[in-house]
Structure 1
């Protein structure tokens, strides 16, 4: 006897509907349990019957009964759903085993990143984390080319395939050479700070770092007497400040680090300039990345709006010297 070839034209949801109806033998009750309309359930069962070219249920005045073919399908349908569930669990485990790759700007490396790594290790040890060090000009391309999964950075990103969310703003402190009059001061005003040339970052290394710093000072109606371009590396910048001829701005969290010849003073005024945000690809995120992002929001308070605008029109002009 030649066996009929079954048309493989069915969905997992149809097997689920079949099992619920087989258990209840009541279309109305099964539809309620499945959160669907009775016509939708009827259509799913009819489609499944058409695929196998058999009757799975019989309707009569006495009610609904399952056919011999339907009883044969019961074990198969349960097995299929179990295998699908097991496959889903294995895929989630495989996804979780893939490390979440993070690139963090220097502003977040002093406080936010250590807290994040410690919290994830304690609460989600199954999530592997990888930290990637990159210069600012490489970060967006690395995110778009899937070399990293999340950017923790101080400037917004504008790209169609990338989403950016502000998290928090950090107070700025004055970074000054350890000499008089600064060595005997406990705080400094913005007006006193701008008397020193300001160490900035080359536009080649960070396009908007300098406008961001100037905008923070411009909120108080002042501008540095002169700008001096320097490297973006934090230790290299501290070494230049220690030389005694320039001052710099840094996030408050960087005060935890000691560097000979340099002192950090809080401002008398509130100088908010270092904005921390996160950027990720505009697509469905993995479970591990979702957990990392939620933890970042919790750690930082999830502030959504920037505190300091970095539009160039708001920045006072200043002369740049080599």
Structure 2
């Protein structure tokens, strides 16, 4: 098993076609076929199902492809670090961002690093907290913004901020940012919520339990943007972190107010794997990320937040 074979496996898996994979790899089709067959012969398993619609990974192929992605990523990281010039911060950094935070920091982070450290290659991933946490465990991510960390044994975390949850309603609901609303008022309406297993859904259920009621979930969607769209059209109410509705506070496309529950909040943390040595590039990216969030909390772009980190730092504890 070698790097060329693993690269062929991944390219065929991503394209679903040996012909297309050969074009991308600048090889003849027979060479790609030989590399895949050599892997199958060596491992004694079938890695692809050859169908009329394309090449589909088998269960064994999916497991190998997942490992191969990790191997190729680590090799790319190692190559970037080894080639680093003295005095230059260089390398590949994979950053995980919660969907709710990505609009606030993704573009500013890219712009800041392009100016200060152009040799740092960013790979930005957006997902829900559970997925980001798993990707940290699996070594896919170097650093991530998370909430709801209950078992930090495999990752190190540094608390950044505590963020309030808000009730989000249609424009004519009459909610006001300066008048907190009890969850009982939210419960009087159909609730548009994330699916079970999502961290925000868990927070919603905890809020409902403290209020002595249950959330009457009418629609489930794992997209805050879709939640806001449905709320704006009058299909129900939602409970979202304040950062998700920052733009709508001034545009008045929604009606919103903080929940009248001091425990209705989530804690945002900076998380990194414990098992991996942190490169200079990772430290630079982490510090930049924290500084951007701190500035947003200080200038009002991030509403209803209590900043906790003493100063920007890439070093989680």
User: What TM-score do you get using the length of structure 1 for normalisation?
Assistant: 0.54
Number of positions where the alignment pairs a residue of Structure 1 with one of Structure 2: 213
Q: How far apart, CA to CA, are the structure 1 residues paired with 2:185 and 2:112?
A: 40
Aligned to 2:223: 233
Whether the aligned pair in 2 keeps the contact of 1:197 and 1:224 (CA below 8 Å) is: no
From 193, 200, 206, the counterpart of 1:215: 206
Whether the aligned pair in 1 keeps the contact of 2:84 and 2:91 (CA below 8 Å) is: no
Q: CA deviation at 1:264?
A: 3.5
Aligned to 1:307: none
Cα distance change of structure 1 residues 224 and 182 upon mapping to structure 2, 3 Å threshold: farther
Aligned to 2:265: 273
Q: How far apart, CA to CA, are the structure 1 residues paired with 2:290 and 2:204?
A: 24
Whether the aligned pair in 2 keeps the contact of 1:186 and 1:265 (CA below 8 Å) is: no
Cα distance change of structure 1 residues 114 and 274 upon mapping to structure 2, 3 Å threshold: farther
Q: How far apart, CA to CA, are the structure 1 residues paired with 2:109 and 2:259?
A: 30
Cα distance change of structure 1 residues 95 and 164 upon mapping to structure 2, 3 Å threshold: farther
User: What TM-score do you get using the length of structure 2 for normalisation?
Assistant: 0.54
Q: How far apart, CA to CA, are the structure 2 residues paired with 1:258 and 1:212?
A: 22
Which ranges of structure 2 fall in alignment gaps of 5 or more residues? 1-80, 295-306, 311-317
Q: CA deviation at 1:116?
A: 3.8
SS in 2 for 1:142: helix
SS in 1 for 2:120: coil
Q: CA deviation at 1:136?
A: 4.7
From 255, 280, 294, the counterpart of 1:264: 255
Which ranges of structure 1 fall in alignment gaps of 5 or more residues? 1-87, 305-322
Kindly report which structure 2 residues correspond to 1:80-119, keeping only aligned pairs within 5 A, or say none.
Answer: 91=84, 96-119=89-112
With 274-283 and 127-136 compared, the bigger mean Cα shift is at 127-136
- Alignment of 1:254 with 2:247, yes or no, is no
- Deviation per residue, 1:249-272 (Å, 9 max, x gap): 122222344599951322374655
Whether the aligned pair in 1 keeps the contact of 2:145 and 2:271 (CA below 8 Å) is: yes
Q: CA deviation at 1:292?
A: 2.1
